[in-house]
Structure 1
Amino acid sequence: MSWRPARRCVRCTIVHTVGELLRQWRHRRGLSQLDLAIAADVSARHVSLVETGRSRPSADMILRLAGQLRVPLRERNRLLLAGGYAPRYAERPLGDDALAAVRDAVARILRAHEPYPAVVFDRRWNIVLTNRAVEPFFARVDPVLLRPPVNLVRLGLDPRGLGGLVVNRADVRAMFRTRLARQLAAAPDPELTALYEELFTPGSDDGPGLPIDAEVVMPMVVRLDGRELRLFSTITTFGTPADITVEELAIESYYPADAESAAYFTG
């Protein structure tokens, strides 16, 4: 079954109890009450009492259940608030002094990846940082699309943006659709849903992509300076973050998929 974003109701404000929210996350993860109880080392009866509101869980119990349900830190704060507790996880700007070590680590990763391109983006795919290898690509982009916040998905699909450089647009479009759908299925977000609906309306595909039967990973083929560059990417995130901003950062690093593409960057 393919995921489809739910319709949004801008007039509706629904307040859920902590038990209702936990039940929603349990269903989202496809777990029974017994599955969750075993994973969290509690009784299935206790999970049932919490979900139905007949037992008020402690803050630690909320976080224990949320951890087993892989609930993002932002949503764990929401669970705590619904349970009558203060949030546990801070959300600091990336420029905050407390995140100096994170900024340094990200900068080191970006520099170390040169001469190949790399970008850092947040949970809504807004670009936060890039390395210098991205500059030749952005030089071909309509300046209007580079006004902050610059959204990587919108930029990658717009013909005035990087989409105008991509040869296999159908493949790249399908890749972005899959990644956004997977992200929304794991943790719904109204703004991300709006982005999905904006960019992936029915009938908006670019036609069949290039044959990739022999590929180990799907390359993105970009035409730049009269040459076709074949690139694939990896995603890096921070392990065991305790800050919302840090958890929601992702670094996408692009690599040449063949010797000719590598020579463009190193020659």
Structure 2
Amino acid sequence: MTPTTTTSVGAMLRTWRGRRGISQLELAGRAGSSSRHISFVETGRARPSEELLLRLADQLDVPVRERNALLLAAGYAPRYAQTPLDDPSMRALREGLERLLTGYEPYPALVVDATYTVVAANRGIAMLLEGIPEHLLTPPLNAMRITLHPEGLARRIHNLDEWRGHLLAQMGRQIALARSAPLRALYEEVAAYPVPDPAPDRPRPAEPDGAAPYIALPLVIEHDGRLISFISSIATFNTPMDVTVAELAVETLLPADPATAKYLRSLDY
């Protein structure tokens, strides 16, 4: 959220506190302040110091971008830079991400930003995207559009209702956290996509190998006439000091069963 002249730092803090379900007394105890002072800050009777404001933001788990907004609303300079990923200073990060993605092959892995724009991907992802129409693959690629568009991966996903619901719920939680207008627009776009009818001759999903059930909701998708299953894992950076880095997420797709793992290892990239 970008602060405006009518948005006070106290009102913003009160909103974040309400979202977290934390009382003024509890927040004060966590941040080393008093409930009276927190009350004065929220009502505009006191201006928080920069140090206290950052402690409050930390205890409320405010995203890095929004911490800058809090600082600006209180009359302080932003603390966190927003460095483009192609900046020379980001070279080590870019190279590290590339090594991570390559090392994960043959399993699919990608890196996305706060609006699910794909900033890097490995050959496992390229394998899944084989046959996707060119207009969906024109940069900048967007992971949500590619996945949920009826001409994209959606037509190949065999548990589309469950997977679509999972992705939309995930986006909804992020919107509630960050109040991002671009993310809201993306959500409204992909949620409105028609759900494609399954092909009448597509293979039936197989039960997971062995007696154990899936440990998490799998992505069951068809590739080259074969059904493969993945479990998604998402990782972010710990204590980021840059907005760009804070909003990057590494998603890896782990084979959900031995047959999928064997199939991926058999592919010749």
Q: Same fold (TM over 0.5)?
A: yes
Map of 2:78 onto structure 1: 87
* 1:214 shift after superposition: 3.5
* 1:161 shift after superposition: 1.2
Aligned letter for 1:18?
A: V
Map of 2:257 onto structure 1: 258
Counterpart pick for 2:129 among 138, 161, 166 = 138
Higher alpha-carbon deviation: 96-105 or 107-116: 96-105
* 1:143 shift after superposition: 0.6
Q: Secondary structure at the match of 2:140?
A: coil
In structure 1, C-alpha distance between the alignment counterparts of 2:13 and 2:127, rounded to whole Å: 47
Map of 1:78 onto structure 2: 69
Q: Secondary structure at the match of 2:18?
A: helix
Q: Does 1:152 align with 2:151?
A: no
Map of 1:65 onto structure 2: 56
Map of 2:231 onto structure 1: 232
Q: Does 1:247 align with 2:246?
A: yes
> Which consecutive residues of structure 2, in runs of 5 or more, have no partner in the other structure?
198-204
Instruction: State whether residues 173 and 205 of structure 1, in contact with CA within 8 Å, keep that contact through their aligned partners in structure 2.
Output: no
Map of 1:109 onto structure 2: 100
Q: Does 1:42 align with 2:41?
A: no
* 1:108-157 residue CA offsets vs partner (Å, 9 max, x unmatched): 21011001110100011111110122222222111101122221111101
For this pair of structures, how many residues does the alignment match?
253
* 1:15 shift after superposition: 2.7
Structure 2 vs 1, CA of residues 29 and 205 (structure 1 numbering), >3 Å: closer, same or farther? farther
In structure 1, C-alpha distance between the alignment counterparts of 2:55 and 2:70, rounded to whole Å: 12
Q: Secondary structure at the match of 1:141?
A: coil
So what's the TM-score if we normalise by structure 2? 0.88
In structure 1, C-alpha distance between the alignment counterparts of 2:85 and 2:56, rounded to whole Å: 29
In structure 1, C-alpha distance between the alignment counterparts of 2:90 and 2:39, rounded to whole Å: 39
Aligned letter for 1:221?
A: V
In structure 2, C-alpha distance between the alignment counterparts of 1:112 and 1:141, rounded to whole Å: 25
Map of 1:175 onto structure 2: 166
1:205-224 alignment to 2 at 5 Å?
Answer: 214-224=213-223
Q: CA RMSD in A?
A: 2.1
> Which consecutive residues of structure 1, in runs of 5 or more, have no partner in the other structure?
1-12
In structure 1, C-alpha distance between the alignment counterparts of 2:187 and 2:230, rounded to whole Å: 24
Instruction: State whether residues 217 and 231 of structure 2, in contact with CA within 8 Å, keep that contact through their aligned partners in structure 1.
Output: yes
In structure 1, C-alpha distance between the alignment counterparts of 2:10 and 2:252, rounded to whole Å: 40
Aligned letter for 2:220?
A: V
Q: Which runs of 4+ in 1 moved over 4 A?
A: 203-207, 210-213
Aligned letter for 1:156?
A: T
Structure 2 vs 1, CA of residues 178 and 18 (structure 1 numbering), >3 Å: closer, same or farther? same
Instruction: State whether residues 169 and 206 of structure 1, in contact with CA within 8 Å, keep that contact through their aligned partners in structure 2.
Output: no
Map of 1:4 onto structure 2: none
Q: Secondary structure at the match of 1:235?
A: strand
Identity %: 45
Q: Secondary structure at the match of 1:234?
A: strand
* 1:204 shift after superposition: 5.6
Instruction: State whether residues 170 and 206 of structure 1, in contact with CA within 8 Å, keep that contact through their aligned partners in structure 2.
Output: no
Q: Secondary structure at the match of 1:42?
A: coil
* 1:206 shift after superposition: 6.8
